[in-house]
Structure 1
Amino acid sequence: MHKNQLQGNPPRVTVIGAGIAGMTAAIELASKGISVDVYEKNDSPGGRGRLFRQDGFNFDMGPSWYWMPEVFENFFNKHGEKLDHYFKLIRLDPSYRIFFANDIIDSPADVKGVYEIFEKIEPGSSQFLRAFLAQSKIKYEAGMNDFVRRPALSIFEFAEWRLMKNLFKLDLFKSIERLIDHNIRDERLRAWLKFPVLFLGAKPSQTPALYSLMNYADFELGTWYPEGGMWKLFDAFYQLALKRGVRFHFNEEVLSINVNDSLATSLKTKNGNNEFDYLIGAADYHHIDTVLLPEGFQQYSDIYWSKRKLAPSALIFYLGIKGRLKDLLHHNLFFDEEFEQHAVDIYDKKVWPAKPLFYVSVTSRSDDSVAPEGHENVFILIPLATGIADDDTQREELLNMVLKRIENKTGCRLAEDIVFRRDYCLRDFVNDYHSFQGNAYGLSNTLDQTAILKPSVKHNKIRNLYFAGQLTHPGPGLPPSLISGETAANLVLKKILRGSH
């Protein structure tokens, strides 16, 4: 669709939410000459990827892993832009460090180094890993280039021969845990291969082996970092949206959506009613569905929502540290306790974890610009169950625990050198994003929540309302959220070309 295909006044599209899904949808539509307004509750773009600065420290508030770089590059190329005009991308080597109970493994950027480590720890395992990654590549190409790019409105979308042929190769009905444990004996190597599944928000035993595509993204495509911080990626989307004429309304929370004759007609903010022809909800799906829409237009029942399997929430600490932390890398995974017990606490018992695994990011190890000279900015993330009561005492106890474990593993006495601290947990996710049960990532990518089994990208009662973001297809993570924004925009464009709602 070209701009000159639009007749008369351009259609008006409103997007709720200025995260990566919302900005992607806005760019797609505005690039076709459509009038686009984005309403954002918070004071800056990026959604969970916002930046905050304090005392000379820069902290990315949410996403910290830059994987699948071609997804972002292809999007900008499609719109006549080069992403490297916005920031410099650096490949990290090692990609990350894993602390086990009695060992440390640095994940090499070169996959040959990964094979060598596997073979050294478990002779013969590198042969399996080569075959595993070859299959992971097939899954990645079929999944990212086809499967996740279908809107998943009907099972018949997946019935064509080309995709059906690939579906049998995707291991949808086998768990990734079964695939790995059947072939690898060493618990460290098992944990290493299962680690990327943590991005998908489910136990490895409940995650389809399809998602070994994440291992291909890890070992073959690499772990990258945008110089200046992850917020540079979100700012690039924002700058491109402005270039295309998108209008942003920050600090303007949507209070309600007006519906007339099965059409959403306007939304209400503190500044009044704002009319549109089409609406894309790229904020929290559950909040839009159960709070913003009028009674009688809820897409899914409260019972439906209560049965959704959510990816974890998180307890995050942003710490400014005096001194340098030479025994920590940019990305650090502390797998020095039992993964299974932490998973039980998150998914089964739904309690605060007793001995959690956790993640530490120190971007100042790669980038001097994000912290004052002689200091480090430290981001600690502990996965938690959703829907549990936030508790300041528990926050404090977990911080003390993880700081002690970091000290035991590295000798770094962070507790003595903290010059700035901020916490972020369940109630903050709810307050800032209306996040359903305080989730941090969206819905778990389990088999019964895949494709058409996720909340639909299209509202079935309101003809001009579409959804994007981590609670709809294809799911959690930055690349899937971007793709969901493209999908929603494309569905709107098809409607516009047909001249109907």
Structure 2
Amino acid sequence: MKKKIAVIGSGFSGLSAAAYAAKDGHEVHLFEKNNDVGGRARNFKTENGYTFDMGPSWYWMPDIIESFFKDFGQNVSDFYTLIPLDPQFEMVFTDDVMGIPHDYQEMKALFEKTETGAGKMLDEFMTDAQYKYEVGMKDFVNKPCHSWLEFVSPTIAKSALKLDLLTNFKRFVRKYFTNPKLIVLMEFPVIFLGAAPKDIPALYSLMNYGGYKLGTWYPMGGFSKIIDAMKDIVIKQGTEINCNANVEKIIIKDNKASGLIVNQQEIDFDIIIASSDYHHTETLLPKEFRNYDEKYWEKRIFAPSCLIYYLGFKEKLPNLTHHTLFFENNLDLHTEEIYTDKKWPTKPLFYACCPSKTDPSVAPEGSENVFLLMPVATGIEDSEEIREVYFKEMISRLEKHTGASDLLSKIDYKKSYCIQDFKEDYNAYQGNAYGLANTLSQTAVLKPSLRNKKLKSLFYTGQLTVPGPGVPPSIISGKIAAHEASKN
């Protein structure tokens, strides 16, 4: 039966939910509080010719993104051109710079050069990670997770031990490698899953396969090209998109979510799918209809927030690749200060993205587009003064790595973005940037529920519910929520 469905929020999960709900034959209305779609993956253009992606910049798991478009009879190549990055990224240590090749055989040779026998161990690691990827990303993550009974299937039962759900990632990596640089290299992908490697299930070695083995890519024109493509799909499915549309309240009638108040106007709906921040969405409901109280959220383990600087430089920077990870300091210390001590880092790691090395369209000729990103704890004090302290440190380390001098005088554009901005732009709980941590106690059925347990017709999607944070999981989350809504 055709239903009138509202989707709140237009990040990856919201656009995905809108597309699939419309494909299922429903009348879909998408509401976005900001002036354009995309959520954290929006972009912005400066008057002096720079185009900055505001959020995601690592194009991993290309097959999962491709599968979204195939579901609508299209291909990624119909919308944008994907370029493989080689090196995929560089990792800067105190005494060395390690570039990770696109070619897997070259990667094996690098591992072997770094540690005798590590090439063979990389093969074994990736064979195991591939199995987890194929089971995890095809069977495990596509469940709505209403009950553990969903996981009682021959494939998952047969795979249970091999998925390593009860082994932590830190211990798992050390089964294969002993060289500190290789250990950091293999642990890096799970940082943005929201916990230290010692607290992440070894299942998530699947990310190493989805990234390193399947390659790191870049969509020409920027990451927002994916958003533009998904928006095109959503419109073709017949969805009505409303920007500058702030949802102020979810209307309840007869124990059913029956509509929204948007910009002070009441609109009736049969079903609501909220891809807005889960905690914020619940504040749009009377307390008695919320799935979780404040104490619940206070006890959750959140993935990091981050300090970002969007920078334009009026000359090219030497010795800088598209992705560069500055890991001169201790990974364990930084993660401890994000997740346990919850304070600004004493010896931070950070990441530099320079898309103009690959894509001349994102910066004026002869200039460089760079953003610097430093993971930080959620909910800590945020001010321009604090941001600037870390900005100067990151610039100093960037100068040392590139050999460029006096970079401050070469800045053509500068904008910072941190905890307060995540709160204001996305209503993000405690300014989180990446959702909930994928710890074992917050996996699958133990994540916040995809549906409201007290109201019919209200569903949640996005990085605070199943399957979790990241671009491919968010796209999958939207698909699951839309299909569950269609069953309602």
User: Under a length normalisation based on structure 1, what TM-score does the superposition of the two structures give?
Assistant: 0.96
Match for residue 373 of structure 1 among 365, 374, 380? 365
Q: Which residue of 2 aligns with 1:23?
A: 15
In the alignment, which of 475, 485, 494 is matched to residue 487 of structure 2?
494
Whether the 8 Å contact between 1:110 and 1:219 is mirrored in structure 2 is no
User: What is the rounded CA distance, in whole Å, between the counterparts of 1:152 and 1:208 in structure 2?
Assistant: 18
Which of 457, 460, 472 is the aligned partner of 2:450? 457
Q: Give the superposition deviation at 1:124.
A: 1.0
Q: Does 2:113 correspond to 1:120?
A: yes
AA aligned to 1:323 is E
Match of 2:211 in 1: 218
Structure 2 residue matching 1:397: 3-state secondary structure: helix
Aligned residue number for residue 170 of structure 2? 177
Deviation at 1:322, TM superposition (A): 1.0
Q: CA deviation at 1:326?
A: 2.4
Which residue number in structure 1 is paired with residue 319 of structure 2?
327
Q: Which amino acid aligns with 1:363?
A: P
Residue of 201, 224, 233 corresponding to 2:226 = 233
What is the rounded CA distance, in whole Å, between the counterparts of 2:384 and 2:227 in structure 1? Answer: 31
In structure 2, the residue matched to 1:499 is none
1:227-255 deviation digits (Å, cap 9, x = unpaired): 00000001100011111111011011100
Aligned to 2:86: 93
Q: Tell me which residue corresponds to 2:260.
A: 267
SS of equivalent to 1:146: helix
Asked whether 1:350 is paired with 2:342, we answer yes
1:411 aligns with 2:411: no
Deviation of residue 153 (structure 1)? 0.6
Q: Are residues 1:139 and 2:136 paired?
A: no
- Aligned: 1:256 with 2:261: no
Aligned pairs for 1:44-443 within 5 A = 44-54=36-46, 55-289=48-282, 291-413=283-405, 414-443=407-436
1:315–1:425 Cα contact (<8 Å) kept: yes
Q: CA deviation at 1:416?
A: 2.2
Q: Distance in 2 between matches of 1:214 and 1:192?
A: 12
Deviation at 1:146, TM superposition (A): 0.5
Deviation at 1:261, TM superposition (A): 1.6
Is the contact made by 2:290 and 2:452 (CA closer than 8 Å) also made in structure 1?
no
Task: Please list the CA deviations of residues 366-423 of structure 1 after superposition, one character each: whole Å capped at 9, or x if unmatched.
Answer: 0000000010010100000001011211100000001101112221232221011000
Report the Cα distance in structure 1 between the residues aligned to 2:320 and 2:32, rounded to whole angstroms: 36
C-alpha deviation, 1:129, in angstroms: 1.2
Give the Cα–Cα distance (whole angstroms) in 2 for the partners of residues 315 and 17 of structure 1: 23
**For 2:66 and 2:177, how far apart are their aligned partners in 1?**
35
Distance 1:203 1:32 in 2: 40
Give the distance between the partners of 2:393 and 2:258, measured in 1 at CA: 51
Q: What letter is aligned with 1:479?
A: P
Find the aligned partners of 1:256 and 1:125 in 2 and give their Cα distance.
56
| Letter paired with 2:68 | F
Question: Which deviations, in whole Å up to 9, do the C-alpha atoms of 1:130-171 show, x marking residues without a partner?
Answer: 111000000000000000001111011112222111121100
CA distance in 2, matches of 1:477, 1:187: 26
Partner of 1:388, secondary structure, is: coil
Task: Tell me the amino acid that sits aligned with residue 12 of structure 1.
Answer: K
**In the alignment, is the contact (CA less than 8 A) between 1:52 and 1:60 conserved in 2?**
yes
Q: CA deviation at 1:83?
A: 1.8
Matched position secondary structure for 1:476: coil
Counterpart CA distance in 2 for 1:322 and 1:400 is 18
Indicate conservation of the 8 Å contact 1:24/1:486, yes or no. Answer: yes
State the SS of the aligned residue for 1:142: helix
User: Identity of counterpart residues, as a percentage?
Assistant: 45
Q: Which amino acid aligns with 1:334?
A: F
SS at match of 1:318: strand
Q: Any conservation in 2 of the 1:353–1:384 contact (CA below 8 Å)?
A: yes
Instruction: Kindly indicate whether the alpha-carbon contact (under 8 Å) linking 2:248 and 2:264 is maintained by their aligned counterparts in 1.
Output: no
Distance 1:125 1:82 in 2: 37
Native 8 Å contact 1:24 1:485 kept in 2: yes
SS at 1:274 equivalent: strand
Deviation at 1:271, TM superposition (A): 4.5
Aligned-partner SS, 2:276 = coil
The residue correspondences of 1:30-49 to structure 2 (distance < 5 A) are 30-49=22-41
Q: Is the Cα–Cα contact under 8 Å of residues 133 and 216 in structure 1 kept in the other structure?
A: yes
